Amino acid sequence: MVQRRFTALRGNSQRLDGGAMFGNAPKALWSRWVEADELNRIPLACNALLVEEHSDAGTRRILLETGVGAFFEPELAARYGVVEREHCLLGALADIGLSDSDIDIVMLSHLHFDHAGGLLAAWQEGEAHRLLFSNAIYLTGSEQWQRANAPHLRDRASYIPELLQLLESSGRLQLIAQERSALLGDDYRFIRSDGHTPGMLLTEIETGQGPLIYGADLVPAMPWVNLPITMGYDRAAEMLIDEKESLLNGLQQRRGWIFFSHDPACFAARIEADRRGRYSTSEPIMAAGPLNFCSGT
């Protein structure tokens, strides 16, 4: 018997251009959902999901995503709208009595800096980048790894070359090419999505109250539950919409949950659909900390 506890953790936050975040949707539409500042930037979070598994064999801790962290030097941090200078995810772990060295597995949906930058220690002048989570196995998709090492001009700035080198030299990087991972086991399933970036992997876990899927950048926050809404950062908007429809339809049919990677207010919610096939959320989980469902397998 494995007992799982799910905990929502808040990492660093950002403020990014609202037009870029909402793609071809006009501001008259997206301003109904989120308020922009005087620079047209909207607030975004970097939310991580901690899964703690307790069994007779001991405790295993799995962290989904690390957020942007605080690796940027001050000038770049300002350019990319990173609000805090401290590494907030490390603080969130400390608040529940843990450190990065207590994590056994880090699962990365993809390797853009706002999802993987938290693997690095906070920037300090004159010091080289340093990899955190020293006892963890790092998991990511094999095709995303290829993309990160040979990026297109469109998303080259989204990757951190020094991080890729550190991951490869760590000896603790495992690449996923299938729907399952032998390391994680059959209770974890990966859903491939290519609309945002090639080979992005969404992790699905059974909670005991329906499946929970980490939405990554397919459905980064509640407004993007609306099918036509995509980001300007997506490589293939039409593909992404089709992938999103398949994901949300499956969650709605199975009474499942989605975990939002970038929502500054809501960590997770159930997916509903009306008679016209429009998707919405219910039972939102608005506070960091233990999620109000548990799993035993």
For 256, residues 6+ apart whose C-beta sits below 8 A from its C-beta are: 210, 211, 212, 213, 250, 270, 271
Give residue for tokens 């809501």.
266
Residue 107 near residue 64 (C-beta atoms within 8 A): yes
Return the pLDDT at 208.
83
Tens-digit pLDDT string for the chain (297 aa): 889 999 999 999 999 999 999 999 999 999 999 999 999 999 999 999 999 999 999 999 999 999 999 999 999 999 999 999 999 999 999 999 999 999 999 999 999 999 999 999 999 999 999 999 999 999 999 999 999 999 999 999 999 999 999 999 999 999 999 999 999 999 999 999 999 999 999 999 988 889 999 999 999 999 999 999 999 999 999 999 999 999 999 999 999 999 999 999 999 999 999 989 899 999 999 999 999 765 555
Distance set, CA 195 to CA 57, 83, 126, 236, 238 (Å): 39, 28, 38, 5, 8
Closest Cα partner for 267 from 92, 119, 15, 102?
92
User: Cα(83)–Cα(151) distance, rounded to whole angstroms?
Assistant: 27
User: Cα(240)–Cα(219) distance, rounded to whole angstroms?
Assistant: 10
Return the pLDDT at 125.
96
**Bridge-partner residues for 61, per DSSP?**
52
Specify the CATH number for the domain of residue 187. Answer: 3.60.15.10
User: Tokens representing 278?
Assistant: 């429009």
Return the pLDDT at 217.
98
Q: How many domains does the chain have?
A: 1
* HSE value, Cβ hemisphere, 13 Å, CA-based, for 249: 10
pTM: 0.96
In 3-state terms, what secondary structure has residue 174?
A: strand
Q: What is the DSSP track for 192-236?
A: EE-SSSTTEEEEEEE-SSSEEEE-TTTS-SGGGGSTT---TT-S-
Q: Which sign, positive or negative, has the C-alpha torsion 74, 83, 292, 271?
A: negative
Neighbour count for residue 75 (Cβ, 10 Å): 8
Neighbour count for residue 122 (Cβ, 10 Å): 19
Return the pLDDT at 228.
97
Q: State which amino acid sits at residue 273.
A: A
Return the pLDDT at 223.
98
Return the pLDDT at 172.
98
Return the pLDDT at 1.
84
Domain ranges, residue 36 = 3-296
Return the pLDDT at 292.
77
* HSE value, Cβ hemisphere, 13 Å, CA-based, for 4: 23
